């Protein structure tokens, strides 16, 4: 598909493990991300969903150029981000920003809020002091803070306000893509709602794309347009958010959704939806990686399931389809 803002193909990251004397003996590799491909269109939100250890955060780091891939490419507007040099790196840094889960550790405790939010512009070096001040004030207002807050330190704010500050810092360079790594899971319920509303408003206003990393389906439903479900380093299912949440096809997606806690006591369930735990990414099962826990496992699952197209944008990697 053309016109994609972000195009990830066959992205793979293996972390080699060494042991023995001076670490000279190789003990294999953790296959954190293994052949992941997806696309993200401008002004849209793609959610990467999965449990811890599934590789979603490593994928985000590869997209952010914080780690280099073992194999595969990440294209931003058609340019390979891992091959960039010189000024092009600065272009990438302006274009792609991130907001992390924990607003207690992502903001420098020794800088004033105004300086924190201004930092990306200062580093960029193309703005005058007056211009920076003006843009910081405008951005703080946009995320629902006041101009006077620029003079305060992060510890003077609550979690929700800190996450607003982190968002202001991410958006100040007018990026094309913001990677949101569990942006609300460290916040209280009533504050989560505020930040989620804000994320949607900002996207409508600024036409930014979001790559959302989360395990929470309610967040997915509220924020995402498309979803990719990851298990043990691979994408098992991709689909538009509504379609995926209403009719999940892959047995893992179904299990993940069934494990969600009920919204009301009347929806309480008595059965455990999936047994066992995720196998080690050091030696993932051959063939389908979910087969060790899958209720529908068949002989054919010993071979790798190809990605099957079920609808216009719905793909699933399972032998059932």
Q: From the CB of 318, what's the least distance to another protein, in Å?
A: 17
Strands laid side by side in the 71-76 sheet: 25-40, 6-19, 71-76, 79-80
Residue 126 within binding range of another protein, rule CB under 8 A: no
Nearer to another protein, 77 or 260 (CB): 260
130's CB contacts (< 8 A; 6+ apart) are none
Residue 193 within binding range of another protein, rule CB under 8 A: yes
Q: From the CB of 129, what's the least distance to another protein, in Å?
A: 33
Alpha helices in 143-240 (DSSP H): 159-171, 189-206, 217-223
Q: From the CB of 36, what's the least distance to another protein, in Å?
A: 20
Give me 206's structure tokens. Answer: 């600024």
Q: From the CB of 182, what's the least distance to another protein, in Å?
A: 12
Give me 234's structure tokens. Answer: 């691979």
Alpha helices in 172-188 (DSSP H): none
Residue 180 burial class via C-beta count within 10 angstroms: exposed 0-12, middle 13-18, buried 19 and up: buried
**Span from 98-106, 126-134, 173-181, 260-268 in contact with another protein (CB under 8 A):** 260-268
Distance (Å, whole) CA 139 – CA 145: 9
Nearer to another protein, 89 or 259 (CB): 259
Binding footprint of another protein, residue count (CB under 8 A): 41
Site string for another protein, 4-43 (x = CB under 8 A): ----------------------------------------
Q: Within its chain, how far is the Cα of 211 from the centroid?
A: 5
Distance (Å, whole) CA 1 – CA 150: 43
Residue 196 within binding range of another protein, rule CB under 8 A: yes
What residues make contact with another protein under the rule CB under 8 A? 51-52, 158-159, 188-190, 192-194, 196-197, 215, 217-222, 241-242, 245, 255-257, 259-269, 272-275, 277
């Amino acid at each position: 598909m053309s016109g994609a803002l972000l195009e990830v193909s066959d992205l793979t990251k293996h972390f080699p493990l060494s042991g023995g004397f001076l670490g000279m003996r190789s003990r294999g590799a953790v296959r954190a991300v293994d052949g992941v491909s997806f696309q993200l269109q401008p002004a849209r939100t793609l959610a990467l969903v999965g449990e811890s250890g599934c590789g979603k955060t490593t994928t985000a780091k590869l997209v952010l150029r914080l780690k280099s891939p073992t194999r595969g490419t990440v294209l931003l507007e058609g340019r390979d981000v891992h091959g960039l040099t010189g000024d092009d790196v600065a272009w990438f840094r302006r274009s792609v920003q991130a907001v992390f889960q924990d607003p207690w550790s992502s903001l420098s405790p020794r800088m004033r809020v105004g300086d924190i939010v201004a930092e990306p512009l200062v580093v960029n070096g193309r703005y005058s002091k007056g211009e920076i001040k003006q843009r910081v004030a405008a951005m703080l207002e946009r995320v629902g803070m006041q101009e006077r807050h620029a003079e305060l330190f992060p510890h003077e704010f609550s979690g929700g306000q800190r996450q607003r500050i982190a968002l202001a810092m991410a958006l100040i360079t007018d990026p094309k893509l913001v990677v949101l790594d569990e942006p609300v899971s460290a916040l209280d319920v009533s504050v989560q709602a505020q930040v989620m509303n804000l994320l949607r408003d900002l996207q409508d206003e600024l036409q930014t794309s979001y790559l959302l990393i989360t395990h929470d389906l309610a967040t997915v439903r509220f924020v995402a347009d498309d979803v990719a479900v990851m298990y043990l380093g691979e994408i098992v299912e991709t689909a538009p958010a509504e379609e995926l949440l209403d009719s999940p096809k892959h047995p893992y997606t179904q299990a993940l959704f069934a494990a969600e806690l009920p919204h009301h006591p009347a929806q309480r369930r008595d059965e455990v939806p999936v047994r066992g735990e995720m196998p080690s990414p050091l030696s993932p099962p051959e063939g389908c990686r979910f087969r060790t826990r899958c209720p529908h496992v068949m002989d054919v699952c010993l071979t790798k399931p190809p990605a099957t197209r079920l609808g216009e944008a719905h793909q699933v990697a399972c032998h059932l389809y």
